[in-house]
Amino acid sequence: MELFDPALLAYCESHTSTEDALLKKIVRETQAKVLMPRMLSGHLQGKMLELFSKMLRPKTILEIGTYTGYSGICLARGLRHDGKLITLDINDELETMVRGFFDESGLASQIDYLLGNAREIIPALDGPFDMVFIDADKFYYSDYFDLVIDKVAPGGIILADNVLWSGKILVEEGQKIDKDTRALLDFNQKVQNDPRVENVLLPIRDGVLMARKL
C-alpha cells in the first residue's frame, strides 16, 4: 500500500529544509551499494528526527538499528556539546561505510557505534536515555521497548519507525497475518496501554510512534 500520494509527498519534501551534501551522499551510496535501500530514513523523516533532537537537546540518545548512518547523524546533530549517541546494529558488513560517514559528519567523537545483538547489548547499557529511536527487527519491537523503558529519563521520548508497516496493520477479519505484522500490532497496542507513557502515532513515511515517558 502506498500510504501517501507521491505528489503530496514531493510537496512536503519541497517545503522541508534541504538535505546537506553528506546526507545526499549517504542516500546515493546506500541506493547504489546496499540491499533494501528503502530502509533508509530519508529526507522527510531525517529532518523530523533532527528537529526533535534539537528541541529536546538530549545528553544521551540510544538508536536501535544504525543501517547506513543517516538517521544517526540526524539525531546526533541535536546532542548537547557533551552528549553521546549510542547506535546499535547487527550488520558488520556495513561498518566501514558507516564509520566513514560518521567521520565525515564531524560527530564521530560523540557517536558510539556498537555491533551485535541489541537484545544482548541493551541490558549492559547504563542510561539514562533522553531519546530512543527504534528502527531494527520489527519482530522484537516489544522486546526493545521493555528493555529500554526503565532506562529512559522522565520526559524522555521513544520513537519507533515503520509502525504502519505499509498499511498491513489494517487487518480484515479472517485475514492471515505474518509474524512481523503481528509483532507491530502487538507493539502498537502495548504502548497504547502502557500507563508509563503518553503517545501519538504520526503518519509520517511508514508511521512513527512517539511515546513520552511520564
Q: Is the pLDDT of residue 3 over 90?
A: no
Mean pLDDT of 23-31: 97
pLDDT tens column, 93-107 = 999 999 999 999 999
For the chain, what's the residue count?
214
**Rg of the chain (C-alpha set):** 17
pLDDT tens column, 66-80 = 999 999 999 999 999
What was the pLDDT predicted at 38?
Answer: 86
Cβ(145)–Cβ(117) below 8 Å: no
> Please, what are the domains in the chain?
6-164+172-213 (3.40.50.150)
What was the pLDDT predicted at 1?
Answer: 61
Q: Is the pLDDT of residue 168 over 80?
A: yes
Q: Is the pLDDT of residue 58 over 80?
A: yes
Q: Is the pLDDT of residue 157 over 90?
A: yes
Mean pLDDT of 2-31: 94
Q: Enumerate the β-bridge partners of residue 157.
A: 131, 212
What was the pLDDT predicted at 173?
Answer: 87
Q: Is the pLDDT of residue 174 over 90?
A: no
Average pLDDT, the chain: 96
The pTM for the full model equals 0.97
Q: What percent of the chain has pLDDT over 70?
A: 99
Residue 154 carries which side chain, given as an amino acid letter? P
Q: Is the pLDDT of residue 2 over 90?
A: no
Q: Is the pLDDT of residue 89 over 70?
A: yes
pLDDT tens column, 30-50 = 999 998 898 999 999 999 999
